[in-house]
Amino acid sequence: MNILVTGGAGYIGSHAVRKLCETGHSVVVLDNLSYGHREAVPNNVPFYHVDLKDTDQIETILRKHHINAVMHFAALISVGESVQKPLLYYRNNTAGAMSLLEAMERVGVRRFVFSSTAATYGEPEETPILETTRQQPINPYGRSKWFVEQILQDIVTADPKFGFVVFRYFNVAGATEDGSIGENHQPETHLIPLVLFAAMGKRNNITVFGTDYPTPDGTCIRDYVHVNDLVTAHVLGIEALSDGDARFYNLGIGHGYSVREILDAAKKVTGKEIPTVFGSRREGDPARLFANSDKAQKELGWNPQHTNIEEIIASAWHWHTH
């Protein structure tokens, strides 16, 4: 297939580009480089420095490369920032997706893979979280993605030849095996890279956000999925799509680790002391988020390879230190 990857210079998008190329697809990348890194995109992949709001230019790219399907990763991802700047999130994440979908409609591209998030569940009513668990996002980030999920359903209703798959990510971590690409957010806010920076001495310590949660050790529990497993699901998803599909899948490994367990595992993997400060809760953090991903495994044949947290942390450590 000829696939346009938006956000292909970002963390998850760049891993998807590699995986798609490896599986024989022809890839074109679009990224506004607000957070992405041009060097994360292989030189032989056509690259467009374009913003999602530029519907006309996207239309031109879709036509020029005879695109059959779009994988849409480009988005802003910081929950805290979304609370401060809701319009920025709705403009980028919701209106940006609409602009892209409009360009697709003009050209007749009817296959779409969308990066959604566990944040669409808000404070989940049940764990593990199923795809049918009620979605009630508690911040603009989660809502900006949830709106797109609903828009996609309306598009399929209007056009039965359209087909989409939505992946709701849990906590994505790790890096590609050869250490050539990995997580490089600026600023970084995610637990695993920050813990590794503390182990490397790149920062003085790591603050644990809250020790009084109703969990066995008092810290938050999350489901960490390796980025390569995550993008493998995307390839399976895009290849499975047919007319009228409206598919939704959780992507996690179905096992939660607490912040303290991450610290212990990182200590083991790195062999370093990790100076730790125990602080107060971060606003908007649910106590436990972990997925039931049986649906992706059954329907797509997804079989995550990196289910051991030490292995996931080791691959991130390799990327940060090689």
Q: Which of 41, 100, 199, 220 binds ligand UFG (CB under 6 A)?
A: 220
CA angle in degrees (0–180, nearest 5) for 21-24-30: 40
Active site residue: 141, 213, 249, 257, which one? Answer: 141
Contact pick of 12, 61, 119, 236 for ligand UFG (by CB under 6 A): 119
Question: Which residue is nearest to ligand UFG, using beta carbons?
Answer: 220
Give the C-alpha separation, 250 to 292, whole Å: 7
222 binds ligand UFG (CB under 6 A): yes
CB nearer to ligand UFG: give 95 or 194: 194
Residue 3: enclosing H or E segment and its boundaries? strand 2-6
Instruction: Kindly give the interhelix angle for 96-107 and 55-64, rounded to the nearest 10 degrees.
Output: 40
In angstroms, rounded to a whole number, what is the distance separating the alpha carbons of residues 169 and 225?
8
User: How many of the chain's residues bind ligand UFG (CB under 6 A)?
Assistant: 20
Please tell me the distance from the alpha carbon of residue 72 to that of residue 7, in angstroms, as a whole number: 7
Q: What sign for the dihedral angle of Cα 229, 121, 73, 33?
A: negative
Q: Between residue 122 and residue 141, which ones bind ligand UFG under the rule CB under 6 A?
A: none
Task: Let me know: does 249 contact 299? Beta carbons within 8 Å.
Answer: yes
Q: Which residues pair with 291 in a beta bridge?
A: 129
Residues numbered 281-310 forming contacts with ligand UFG, rule: CB under 6 A: 282, 285, 289
Near ligand UFG by CB under 6 A: residue from 206, 227, 230, 253: 206
Complex with ligand UFG: residue 9 or 220, whichever CB lies closer: 220
Q: Are 173 and 312 in contact (CB under 8 A)?
A: yes
Q: Which of 117, 135, 176, 293 binds ligand UFG (CB under 6 A)?
A: 117
Is 89 assigned a catalytic role? no
Closest distance between ligand UFG and the C-beta of residue 146, in Å? 11
DSSP string, 295-310: HHHHHH----S---HH
Q: Which is nearer to ligand UFG, 74 or 155 (CB)?
A: 74
Provide the mask over 55-94, with x wherever binding to ligand UFG is found by CB under 6 A and - wherever it is not. ----------------------x-----------------
Question: Residue 31: is it exposed, middle or buried by C-beta count within 10 angstroms (0-12/13-18/19+)?
Answer: buried
Pick the stretch among 114-122, 126-134, 180-188, 295-303 that binds ligand UFG (CB under 6 A): 114-122
Q: CA-to-CA distance for 87 and 99, rounded, in angstroms?
A: 16
**Does 118 participate in binding ligand UFG (rule CB under 6 A)?**
yes
Binding site for ligand UFG (CB under 6 A): 77, 117-119, 170-171, 189-191, 194, 206-209, 220, 222, 259, 282, 285, 289
Residues known to be catalytic: 141
